[in-house]
Structure 1
Amino acid sequence: MEEKTIELITKLALQALEEQQNHTNGFMVPVGVSARHVHLTKEHVEALFGAGHTLHKKKDLMGGQFAAEECVTIVGLKLRAIENVRVLGPCRSKSQVEISATDALKLGVKAPIRESGNIAGSAPIALVGPKGAIYLNEGCIIAKRHIHMSPKDAEAAGVKDGDVVSVKADNERGTVFNHVQIRVHDSFTLEMHIDTDEANASKIVTGSTVRII
């Protein structure tokens, strides 16, 4: 009887230690650095690249998205431009431009920090392609930092879709990112997305790992 009691206490102590270590270490997440890019409607694809044009896949991305061969030039209100901005497919219901804060300064636009798809009242921007140009009254944003997760990863991390967490990069900069949104979907691969400004400031590159704290 005494041996069983000791065995049970030992088991419980080991479990408690493991939970404490997991809490201390945090849930590790690989990082993908997201460069400026554009999402387009079918109508806008044709306006920029010609009637009947469809996007040509260059590289598969998570969630059924892909980097297209096509690129455009984006132009701010002061006619300052950034060339060779990658288009991502497939086509969306609304066109959207995602840039960094540094890009916004260069273009002279006041792009708000938003979750992808939330473009109401965002900054205006013009796009120029080989066959034409379009002007968006709204649609230019700085993407809110976020973590893509599968349901299994979310369960392991103890989070759910829509949660907001803090994340730390344990490198020489030791940067802590607050307000990181969790996005959960069956098609997602575990990865935190930050823009080039955030990556450069924290000395992070694609393939680095961070931990939820």
Structure 2
Amino acid sequence: MTIIQACTRFCEKMCCDYPVCARIGALYYAPIVDKEADLAKVGDGDRVLCVGGGRTPFTACLFAEKTGAAVTVIDNDPEVIEPAERFVKAWSLQKGDIEIVFKDARFVNPSHYDVVHLALQVIPQTEIIEDLTELMARSGRGKLLYRTPRQFAEQQYPSCLLSAKGEECSNKAAHNGATMIGETVLFDAAESSGAVFKAKKRDVQAG
């Protein structure tokens, strides 16, 4: 387990146990989600899938509350489902709706959603992104958002991906400030001309 992963787990536990910590922690993600919602044009009633919500699905809560979207969160770790449900309940959503589901992203049908969002720590990112974009390109609809780390954090995410090439990427949003997330990349099947994303792992070694 990396240092960042250990710190993340500690913060997740605090946010699950103490709702006030969750709202404070949301300040980290709020400006990022604002840009992502604008990038993918997420609106009231849209169906959003968040892959890799963990124990504290901040991104899902913020997407729902800021846009009114119907958000489904999936994670392939059965141990995080109950804490995630408690986290969402304690959040007391003012807008939107969230469902937590135990599921592997490799068995997702993206046609059921308007937008699919991948967390930075999702593994295996390469296979998931390639599979989802291929399915989206075939149907000609669907949007995929995925995050890449800032340069100083790359070694903490050895399976993270390079940004999409220009012809495969519809748009990007850069993130500044004290965040591990460098940018969010958008793949929009409606603008892809049938191009399928071919991902490459970053050439870094885990520290």
Select the structure that is richer in helix: 2
Select the structure that is richer in strand: 1
Fold conserved between structures, TM > 0.5: no
TM-score range, shorter chain: under 0.3
Q: TM-score, normalised by structure 1?
A: 0.27
Q: TM-score, normalised by structure 2?
A: 0.27
